[in-house]
Amino acid sequence: MRQGELSLAGFLALLSLYLMWKSTELPIGYISGQGPGGGFWPFWLSFGMLLSCAAIAWNWWRGRSPASVSDEPLMDAFGWRTVARVGGGVVAFVALIPIISMYGAICLFLVYYLRFLGRHSWLLTLAIAIALPIGLFFFFEGAMYISMPQGLPFTQPFFDMMYDIIY
Amino acid sequence: MEVFSLIVDGVATAVQPINLMLIVVGVAVGLFIGAMPGLGSVNGVAILLPVTFLVPPASAIIFLAAIYYGAMYGGAISSVTLGIPGASTAVATTFDGRPLALQGRASLALVTAALASFVGGTVATVFFSLFAPLLADVALSFGPPEIFALMLLAFATFVGLGGDDIPKTIFSICFGLVLATVGFDTISGEPRLVLFDIQGFLRGIGFIVLAIGVYGIGEMLWTIEQTRGDVTTTNPKMTAKGLLSDTKESVRRGWKGTWIGSVLGFFVGVLPAAGATPGSLMAYGVAKMTSRKPEEYGTGSPDGVAAPEAANNSASTGSMLPMLTLGIPGSPTTAILLGGMVMWGLTPGPRLFVDESEFVWGLIGSFYISNLVAVLINLAFIPLFVWMLRMPFTILAPLIFVLSIIGGFAATRSMHDIWLIVIFGISAFFMRKFDYPLAPAVLAIVLGPIAEPTLRQSLLLSSGDPMIFFTRPIAAPITVIALILILWPAVKLVRRKRQVVNG
Amino acid sequence: MTLTKRLFLGLAASSALATLPISAVAQDWQPTRPVDFTIMAGAGGGADQIARFVQSVVEANDMMNRPLIPTNRGGGSGAEALLHLKDARDPDHTLMVTLNSFYTTPIRQEGLGVDIETFTPITMMGVDPFVLWVHTDSGITTFDEYLAAVREMGGEYVMGGTGSGQEDSIVIAYMSGVYDLDINYIPYDGGGAVARDLAGQQIMATVNNPAEANGFYEAGDFVPLLAFSDERMEAYPDVPTIRELGHDFSYYNQRAIVGAPGMSDEAAAYYREVFGQVYEGEDWQNYLKSESLSPLPMDEAETRAYWSTQVENHRELLSKIDG
């Protein structure tokens, strides 16, 4: 924890510096007769972020925040594994959207989560993983008129069929 | 009293069978749409706009207003049960609504939200009926300096909201405000902070992206990791008797927040550009500040649910006022309603009350009825929403992830934003681990896009002289109060330190 | 089809149903999926209103076999919408409702790499003229009085408009250029906010489109002084045009529907047919009148020629602002 606290503050400080640098593309000063320029607000607020990071580091050095005096690891192996499985699942879910369409990705994600993380029966898993995307399709495409991303061309016939049904 | 006979006529219009049916359908549809994370009243109203061509204008606007109302009630449902604010107006509802749900008291939170919404909506409608033309003039006297002062006040009421770690809270506020500036600078007409030169950032970073990332992904990861994947959802019991006692409790412990939210929400909602979100945030802040037990806020105080919920309903009624009387939309939803009225051949504006009196009073009458219908439908559905919470967590969690992603896409229609949601979510998880409060960032990204342009417009008006905030009759008192509130914690801190030293 | 629509079919039967005598379009090509109807601006503005109006006419008369899906992509002053069309995965199902950022944004943000002349012209629904407005309480009733007032204030005269480099600022920059005026210009997010602040007298004058100002005009709050149209406007017959005052200038906001680059000819023909019918329908013609839009029907070749002259004009106008 102790090490993590400082690393995170350092990382956020770098982010602040990047934002400050990026803000300078527009005038960051106070233009006489006009008030602040376009970069003023983001620049000085990023500077505020940087100062906060410095204060966080100062608190760390003095051992004032709970994390900075904790010897516990950030997460144990089990914690890391859980986060990697769940977080990784979500990342994979999003990465799959442009390939097998939103609904296909939802289906796979549900199978992965319910069956392999949740250890539910195949029956329940498949029931939810198939019924939910279809229900969402009718809700979004049919009732709400919102088109979700479709996948690579091979998903097309399926969508054409569904559109024939709902419109 | 002429007003009363007009209201009676209006209510009579609203209870005609076709209108009454439209109200019931509209409220139910709105409730459902509002309860979906990512979808809010603006989606509901926009989607059903074409349908309203099939009925006369008076019925059409009643229908759309009913959806608007229903969605305002519905926003609280996702805030409480899923912990994801369905719309920016429901952010403050998560602060206490979510803790209550985690304590197994979701039904108390939902009942409180419904009742507070009802009171808020009704109080606002009464104000609306009595003072509409008068308030329209007040709203017009709010120029950029006044609106900026108001935003400052909204921030001030929130200074105490963050955690105990002051630098981390400040970091969070600044971070939210910087994110709000990404995209495009209207004043200079230049792209700004297009991070890493990725063109997707040109569209800016919406509130909903950060909120879904933080609450939908980050918070879920945190819960799963914290509980080691084995969440014991406290089994909320649902009985008629329980519901009754929840109602009593919410009246007893939520009346003050309701009262503050109803009044404050309406007046903030009336102001152009402000709308329901700052209204609900300020109501929460003021309720907490004036409370005798501010420490209860954030841990599951019914007042903390009641204040923002009363305020956002009250404000949504209030924001109809500038739309009808001036033709100025106070929120994206009213902007679409306004477009609808133009399509039906009505000209919103100062003459509408005179030229289309029957239309206007029919609408006002429908506010009373919609509110009643909304609270009844909402209460009837509470057992269903509570039942949802009893699902095993290994089923609920993936459903929340799916709803976050698909709802996020529905709201933004952009894969770029979906990736941002994931990135914010994972970052939020780690920041949460190190006690960075993230609610201030979410609030900042809501208020930033109003605060920054109005600040710069004001300074352009005054040729760069900041005294403009202290010399205008309405802006000056608001600015001064805001500054006092912002500096107050610092004063208290110094005093406490001195006491510690003396002691 | 949908929950809500089914409900409304029942409703439709019981209420007055305004149906146009428009037959369904029978042609070779038909859309196979919902059509992306991108709006180059945020919710509530002029372009948004028009898009939703057109969509509801199409919907109410069942003119297409797949729905139009209006989506606001106003980010970066329309850059988001332009990029969306440029990179459209499926050009045959991607349309856009424009305003003049269609011309200005690619010029001001060259990094986008958008060339609007590659886009597919569909239908010009009309053009929206600009008018100079002041508040009644200012006592100004003619353009000459306005000029005198601005000169007297010496740089303190405050006008509001949309963001720098957008329509309002172009019109105001031209006007202050030819009359040598010193105006304090305050940029706003959209025309609605500008009209509001004129009504509240936070600013002294604006160049709103008639649609944004009509409510206040009818209530007697706003006074039109000068029209930036080619001919005098029907709604304000006593208001002179800037052309009459000897300046060869007019400025309109373009309300057009365009298709993504690379749209097939069959698809373009289909949409031209559909929106052509909308254009000629009674609903749209009434809308043009009530919102004081000018008709400007053009075929494909004319539109392309019109685009290149507009791009040239805007390049010149913008160079004056930035320079």
Q: Contact, B284 vs B91, CB < 8 A?
A: no
Residue of B nearest to C58 (CA): B50
Q: Which of A146, A163, A166 sits opposite C69 (nearest CB)?
A: A146
What is the count of residue pairs from A and B with beta carbons less than 8 Å apart?
Answer: 175
Residue C52: predicted pLDDT: 87
A-chain residues near C69 (CB < 8 A) = 145-147
Q: How confident is the model at residue C95 (pLDDT cuts 50, 70, 90)?
A: very high
Q: Contact, B86 vs B78, CB < 8 A?
A: yes
Among A13, A39, A69, residue at a domain's last position: A69
A-chain residues near B49 (CB < 8 A) = none
Dist CA B94 CA B83 (whole Å): 6
Contact between chains at C215 and B348 (C-beta distance less than 8 A)? yes
Looking at the structure, do residues A45 and A24 belong to the same domain, yes or no?
yes
Dist CA A37 CA C264 (whole Å): 45
DSSP states along C223-242: EEEEE-SSS--TT-TTSPBT
First to last CA, chain A: 56
Residue B123: predicted pLDDT: 93
**How far away is chain A from the Cα of C2, in angstroms, using its nearest Cα?**
5
Q: Contact, C42 vs C48, CB < 8 A?
A: yes
Residue B501: predicted pLDDT: 61
Q: Contact, C100 vs C317, CB < 8 A?
A: no
Residue B138: predicted pLDDT: 79
Tell me which residue has tokens 């000085």: A44
Q: How confident is the model at residue C44 (pLDDT cuts 50, 70, 90)?
A: low
Looking at the structure, do residues A81 and A13 belong to the same domain, yes or no?
no
B-chain residues near C44 (CB < 8 A) = 329, 332, 334-336, 338-339
Looking at the structure, do residues A90 and A154 belong to the same domain, yes or no?
yes
**How far away is chain B from the Cα of C142, in angstroms, using its nearest Cα?**
24
Residue B494: predicted pLDDT: 74
DSSP structural state of residue C294: B
Our measurement of the distance from residue A125's CA atom to the centroid of its chain's CA atoms, rounded to an integer in Å, reads: 25
The two structure tokens encoding residue C23: 């037959």
Q: Contact, C236 vs C224, CB < 8 A?
A: yes
Residue B229: predicted pLDDT: 56
Dist CA C188 CA C206 (whole Å): 11
Q: In total, how many domains does chain B have?
A: 1
Looking at the structure, do residues A82 and A160 belong to the same domain, yes or no?
yes
Looking at the structure, do residues A65 and A94 belong to the same domain, yes or no?
no
Contact between chains at B144 and C52 (C-beta distance less than 8 A)? no
Q: Contact, B57 vs B98, CB < 8 A?
A: no
Whether the predicted pLDDT of A116 surpasses 50: yes
Average pLDDT, chain C: 87
Residue B500: predicted pLDDT: 63
Give the structural domain span for A6.
2-69
Exposed, middle or buried: residue C269 (CB in 10 Å: 0-12, 13-18, 19+)? middle
| Mean pLDDT of the region A18-32 | 89
Domains of chain C: 32-128+252-322 (3.40.190.150), 131-227 (3.40.190.10)
Q: In total, how many domains does chain A have?
A: 2
Looking at the structure, do residues A45 and A122 belong to the same domain, yes or no?
no
Q: Which of C3, C5, C34 sits opposite A147 (nearest CB)?
A: C34
**How far away is chain C from the Cα of B199, in angstroms, using its nearest Cα?**
8
Helix or strand holding residue B393 (H, E): helix B393-412
Contact between chains at B225 and A75 (C-beta distance less than 8 A)? yes
Average pLDDT, chain A: 90
Residue B129: predicted pLDDT: 86
Residue C4: predicted pLDDT: 46
Contact between chains at B392 and A149 (C-beta distance less than 8 A)? no
At position C256, the amino acid (one-letter code) is: A
Residue B421: predicted pLDDT: 94
Summarised one tens digit per residue, pLDDT across range C126-174 is 999 999 999 999 999 999 999 999 999 988 999 999 888 889 999 999 9
Residue of B nearest to C197 (CA): B143
Dist CA B246 CA B100 (whole Å): 12
CB neighbours (10 Å) of residue B477? 12
Residues in chain B predicted with pLDDT less than 70, given as ranges, are 1, 159-164, 228-240, 272-274, 329-330, 497, 500-503
Mapping DSSP to helix (H, G, I), strand (E, B) and coil, where does residue B87 land? coil
Residue C120: predicted pLDDT: 95
Looking at the structure, do residues A81 and A157 belong to the same domain, yes or no?
yes
Our measurement of the distance from residue A18's CA atom to the centroid of its chain's CA atoms, rounded to an integer in Å, reads: 20
| Mean pLDDT of the region C294-310 | 92
Whether the predicted pLDDT of C20 surpasses 60: no
A33-42, B127-136, B431-440, C218-227: the lowest-pLDDT one: B127-136
Contact between chains at C2 and A147 (C-beta distance less than 8 A)? no
Residue B133: predicted pLDDT: 72
Q: Contact, C272 vs C123, CB < 8 A?
A: yes
Residue B23: predicted pLDDT: 92
B-chain residues near C287 (CB < 8 A) = 343
Residue C25: predicted pLDDT: 45
Write down which chains contact chain B via at least 3 CB pairs under 8 A: A, C
Looking at the structure, do residues A82 and A147 belong to the same domain, yes or no?
yes
Dist CA B183 CA C72 (whole Å): 16
**How far away is chain C from the Cα of B80, in angstroms, using its nearest Cα?**
27
Residue B107: predicted pLDDT: 87
Contact between chains at C33 and A138 (C-beta distance less than 8 A)? no
Mapping DSSP to helix (H, G, I), strand (E, B) and coil, where does residue C94 land? strand
Looking at the structure, do residues A112 and A46 belong to the same domain, yes or no?
no
Among A69, A99, A121, residue at a domain's last position: A69
ipTM for the predicted complex: 0.94
Give the structural domain span for B275.
2-502
